[in-house]
A = this chain, B = another copy of it.
Amino acid sequence: MADVDVVVIGGGLAGLTAARSLITRDRSVLVLEARDRVGGRLESVRMREADAVLDLGGQYVGPTQHEIMSLLDELGVRTETTRDTGDHVVHLGSRLLRYAAEPKLSLLTMLDLGRTVRLIDSTARRIPPHAPWSAPSAAKLDAQTFAEWLRRKGFTPRGRALLAAVTRAIFAAEPSEVSALWALFYVASGGGFDPLTATTGGAQQDWIVGGAQQVAERLAARLPVRLGTPATAIDWSEHGVEVAAGGMTVRARRAVLAVPPPLAGRLMYRPALPPDRAHLTQRMPMGSVIKVHVVYERPFWREAGLSGQAAGDSLPVGMVFDNCQEPDGPGVLVGFVDGAHAAEASRLDPERRRAMVIRCLATYFGAQAEHPIGYVERDWSTEPFSAGCYGAFGVPGTLTRYGKALRDPVGPLHFAGTETATRWAGYMDGAIQSGRRAADEVDLALR
């Protein structure tokens, strides 16, 4: 039994940020974390073959992500620039193309997607990220999948295949799953299509040296965090909450739920939450992604003048980046198997999945890719305390009908998590913003 001002459920960036912010305001706090580590969707492992710490989860940050950038600064965590030098390769249909990199344009933007990007950006600009349901055409956009929206805008099958690849890369979901309104809200929250998809100038510009999880660990080091303590039930009233978690009970005046909406929906609430919230959490599934690191003796692609960046519209590993941690160290390629490709790859046994990934890298970078010295993967869909990655998305009809329930407190319950952010929703930056916002709400309510 513990007794605090605020109980925070979830020790990811959002929850830890909320806890820290409340503690600086002299509120007593306890963070309950289900796993035996903090960080949530940030998880770093030391990989012997790579002689480095690699991220199995989120790893990139970029310009305009002021929240995470200043936190890294404050914690003294360094970043390095994602390698953007050399030619990119793109696999379209059955053709392999080689493109000269251009700064500030994502590999995908460089293809003939100019018209698309303008269309997506101009539509996204009309969507207020703090209230996407109030956009002029919200009802119409939310009644269709992103796939339908793209089809109606008259893209050719080839263009649509490319855009499906982009959608997978951004959401780890298929265009046929995501509400068009949600997709465009998400673009709006990141400031546009190029900021979302680019390396230099965009969300993949820099990676965190030593792994992103250390950000969470450094925050947690000074916070009361209880690991291995999954919250299962919340009794609540206007006066406070009682949270049952892994055999203990925490009593608090307020609770911050800093877990993705579908996981928040799994808790037992007494009394039951209002229908809007109950339905919202049933209508925001997580994406599907398997992240892989493949290690080679040397970054052989550089010798061929390649950047290590690759994308494909039909290959299972839809996006690849150079992820070498040391200038002269082993070669590391990081790849993403997203959306429907992840669903299929999940069904394979590990040996076959590994073979499929390596075959795919060989298609992009040639036969030298066939001989890795190390391989590590994380299928986030097998993680019960994430239930998928990168984040939760809105299915059609969700934002317009239940969107307000994403952030609106219910009695003493406040909702954080990157999905609730208005800037860089789905990113580390959004997680921090959401944690601050929830802390502000709680602090105000406790005064």
Contacts and interface: CB of A to CB of B under 8 A. Distances in A.
Given A143-B176, A144-B144, A145-B148, A395 B272 contact: no
B343 A275 contact: yes
A396 B144 CA distance: 9
B381 A278 contact: yes
A283 B283 CA distance: 7
Contacts of A397: 145, 173-174, 176-177
Contacts of A279: 285-286, 288, 343, 381, 388
A409 interface: no
B148 A347 contact: no
Contacts of A173: 397
Interface stretch (A54-62, A208-216, A261-269, A439-447): A261-269
Contacts of A401: 174, 340, 343
A157 interface: no
A431 to B, nearest CB: 20
Given A176-B397, A343-B401, A288 B268 contact: no
Contacts of A383: 272
Contact of A384 (B175, B176, B272, B402): B272
Nearest to A402: B343
A170 to B, nearest CB: 16
A379 B177 contact: no
A76 interface: no
A277 to B, nearest CB: 10
A314 interface: no
Contacts of A274: 346-347, 382
Contacts of A278: 381-382, 384, 387-388
Give this chain's copy count: 2
B288 A262 contact: no
A421 to B, nearest CB: 20
B382 A272 contact: yes
A347 B346 CA distance: 41
A346 B275 contact: yes
Contacts of A262: 265, 282
A206 B142 CA distance: 37
A249 interface: no
Interface in A376-434: 379, 381-384, 387-388, 395-398, 401-402
Nearest to A396: B145
Nearest to A340: B401
Nearest to A277: B381
A176 B379 CA distance: 31
A283 to B, nearest CB: 5
Interface string A138-149: 000011110110
A257 to B, nearest CB: 15
A326 interface: no
Given A148-B148, A232-B232, A282 B387 contact: yes
23 contacts: A143-B145, A143-B148, A144-B147, A144-B176, A145-B148, A147-B396, A173-B397, A177-B283, A177-B395, A177-B396, A177-B397, A272-B382, A274-B347, A275-B379, A275-B388, A276-B343, A278-B387, A279-B288, A279-B388, A282-B285, A282-B286, A282-B388, A283-B395
